[in-house]
Amino acid sequence: MLEEPFTINKKKVRELNLRLIREHFEKRKGQLRYFGLPGESMRDILLWKEFFSYFCAVERGEPGEEFLLQHNLRLSAFKYGISDKLNLLRGELDNILLRGYDDYNNAVEYPFDVVTLDYCGGVIYKNSTGQSTRASSIGELVRNQALHDKDFLLFLTCNLDNDDQGEIRKVFLDIQRDLNKLGVNADQAIKAYLAHPKKEAQLKMYVPYLIRTLSASTYRCETFKPVYYLGNKETHMMSFSFWMERSSNYAAGRPNRQSLVQLLNLPAFECMDGGLRPTDFDIPKVEVS
């Protein structure tokens, strides 16, 4: 069986995510439901498996040979004794989330306690008509989770290969305008973010803002410190984690506990050789008087 490329940095991210699973779900160990893209060697699942009773794994496979990776994923499940807990969905993740079923009409069986969106590309991904299918698919996932009143952990990993046609700049200017209306001067911080040579600095704010926007009517979103690292083939990767707390019906749209100022000031971790180093990217702190 082919071995999934693996780095010590990715292992560290998985361990950090396991810590969050423990913090939020210790009392429900063995009962959780997983949705994600674990890959054929299923490293996420194997590290976290004691917490779960059900795994919904998505695998697209390589064009023209889709069945190979899908078959290998099933073989891994048999090998590690979890095949009875596995539901395999075949096809493109975004399409499956938007339709609610895979290429063989197998339905996505909501809800889930832990969702892992491990993208091989960027977050700003558009189809041939210019529509942001990635954002739409995440929004559909959140909508279906909300229908079940489900709190959940959301883990999202992407690389820096984003088809940014001004979206990131627009988000920062929107944040600047919103804070100015509240009497908060974030001009220096916004300027520093937009001029920063590291794309990681801008994604540190953009991705959490996107998730908050997509879930604002149904969830209160807590963002944990993101981690950026070099993955396989020296690919620049960034990992995000969120606690999605369902807003009650009478409090729909209730403000997040984390303010925009707190998000702007939130540091990140740089992961090198499996070690973590906090960084604020030398962005000026936004002060609230």
pLDDT of residue 157: 94
Those residues whose C-beta lies under 8 Å from the C-beta of residue 185, and which sit 6 or more positions away, are 179, 286, 287
- What pLDDT score does 90 carry? 95
Kindly calculate the radius of gyration of the chain based on its CA atoms and give it in whole angstroms.
19
Options 3.90.1710.10, 3.30.420.10, 3.30.230.10, 3.40.50.150; CATH of 8-279: 3.40.50.150
What's the rounded Cα separation, in Å, for the pair 15 and 134?
26
Residue 176 CA to residue 191 CA, distance in Å, equals: 10
- The residue extents of the domains of the chain are 8-279
Per-residue pLDDT at 6: 58
Cis preceding-peptide flag for 111 (omega within 30 of 0): yes
pLDDT of residue 29: 97
Distance between CA 70 and CA 86 in Å, rounded? 12
Residue 206 has what pLDDT? Answer: 93
Q: Which residues contact 206 (CB under 8 A, 6 or more apart)?
A: 123, 167, 168, 171, 172
The distance in angstroms from the start CA to the end CA of the chain is 59
- pLDDT at residue 4 in the model: 42
pLDDT for 5: 46
- pLDDT, residue 207, reads 94
Mean pLDDT for back-to-back runs of 10 residues, the chain (289 residues): 62 96 97 94 92 96 83 93 95 96 97 93 59 87 97 94 78 94 95 96 94 94 96 89 82 67 96 96 92
- Say if pTM beats, i.e. exceeds, 0.75: yes
Predicted confidence at residue 126, as pLDDT, reads 53
